[in-house]
Structure 1
């Protein structure tokens, strides 16, 4: 289990995250909702070792991660799928995947590649082509596959549906659910509240760096006024 306790993160004199608590269970999707600037991405970056927290604890099982470098966080089993996918366009699909397995044991890379190709057959078809020529949805699959190459226990996902056509959003979120169902814990930041709540198990709503709601996804759906207050009506109605 990944546990974040009383996390505070600052950029200079600006405090972006104020005492956030969240738990990510194996096989579960924990959804983090909130308006732009609420502190969601900062939370993911702090967990991933990309921005040191001012205070608080980040633990993965019995390991403390709050002062670890990003590569050591990956080695501990926590990997970030960044906003905007950020694939290496000039490199081939397979080269991108192999980069994701950089911290994995060498003898497991070939096996993991074949597993990723089974999960995402389109990547197998495009394995020798430049990643930059993939569609947005295919690039998101590549970003998932690249993260899975490290054999994570927890995946942090930052806006996986961003910039995708509505028909592709459902497919991507279905893949998120499938990843969790394989036993991996998922902490997902997502603006498409309505669609994301359909695949999530738990939800937290963040405003001004603080958690203002925490509960099951079902409770979040039934407390639409809470989500509405911090996301707006448009976010709840997306995909309706």
Structure 2
């Protein structure tokens, strides 16, 4: 289980994250909602080791990982799927997947690859195609597969539906649900709130770097705090 407790993250004199706490359980999807600039992606980067919290703690399976370098955090069992997918476009699909397995035991490579191909058959069918030739949805599946190759306990997904056609979004988020159902904890930032809520178990809403709501997805849709957080600064004025 991933436990984030009262973390603060600053960019110079600007405090982007102010006391965020959340929990990600195995096999569950925790959805992070909020307006642009609320601190959602910064929270993911702090968990992944790309930003160092100024205070607070991050614990995975009762072992602290706060401030550890990214490669060490991957080895502990956390994988980030970044915004915009960021696949290695000139490399073939199977080469992208091999890059994802860099920190994983070599003895389990074939078994993990087989599981990835089973979940994403298109990657198997086109394993020798250059990643840059894939559609946006296929590249997102490759980004998922690359993260899965590290054998994560928790996956951090930053805007997985960004830039995708509406018809593709449902299939991508269905894969998110399938990854969670396999036992992986998912912490997902998703601007498409309605689609995200359809696959989420729990919701954390952030406004101005602070948590304004934590609870089950079933109670988040009509919660005033969630709506205000998602609408952003204008809705929060005068609160």
**Fold match, TM over 0.5?**
yes
How far the C-alpha of 1:55 sits from its partner, in A, is: 0.4
How far the C-alpha of 1:115 sits from its partner, in A, is: 1.3
**Aligned positions of 1:48-67 closer than 5 A:** 48-67=48-67
Gaps of 5+ in 2: 233-239
- Which whole-Å CA distance do the structure 1 matches of 2:156 and 2:131 have between them? 22
In the other structure, the counterpart of 2:29 is 29
Which shifted more, 88-97 or 105-114? 105-114
TM-score by structure 1 length? 0.95
Gaps of 5+ in 1: 234-240
- Which whole-Å CA distance do the structure 2 matches of 1:215 and 1:230 have between them? 14
In the other structure, the counterpart of 2:124 is 124
- Which whole-Å CA distance do the structure 2 matches of 1:53 and 1:166 have between them? 35
CA contact (8 A) 2:212 2:229 kept: no
**Aligned positions of 1:74-223 closer than 5 A:** 74-223=74-223
In the other structure, the counterpart of 1:238 is none
How far the C-alpha of 1:5 sits from its partner, in A, is: 0.1
- Which whole-Å CA distance do the structure 2 matches of 1:16 and 1:157 have between them? 19
How far the C-alpha of 1:75 sits from its partner, in A, is: 0.6
How far the C-alpha of 1:111 sits from its partner, in A, is: 1.6
CA contact (8 A) 2:212 2:226 kept: no
Superposition RMSD on alpha carbons, in Å? 1.0
How far the C-alpha of 1:228 sits from its partner, in A, is: 2.4
How far the C-alpha of 1:163 sits from its partner, in A, is: 0.2
How far the C-alpha of 1:209 sits from its partner, in A, is: 0.3
- Which whole-Å CA distance do the structure 1 matches of 2:28 and 2:129 have between them? 33
How far the C-alpha of 1:102 sits from its partner, in A, is: 0.3
In the other structure, the counterpart of 2:236 is none
In the other structure, the counterpart of 1:230 is 229
In the other structure, the counterpart of 1:236 is none
SS in 2 for 1:155: strand
1:4 has 2:4 as partner: yes
Deviations 1:144-179 (A, max 9, x none): 000000100000000000000001001111100000
How far the C-alpha of 1:113 sits from its partner, in A, is: 1.2
How far the C-alpha of 1:62 sits from its partner, in A, is: 2.0
In the other structure, the counterpart of 1:44 is 44
Aligned residues: 232
SS in 2 for 1:123: helix
- Which whole-Å CA distance do the structure 1 matches of 2:170 and 2:225 have between them? 24
SS in 2 for 1:215: strand
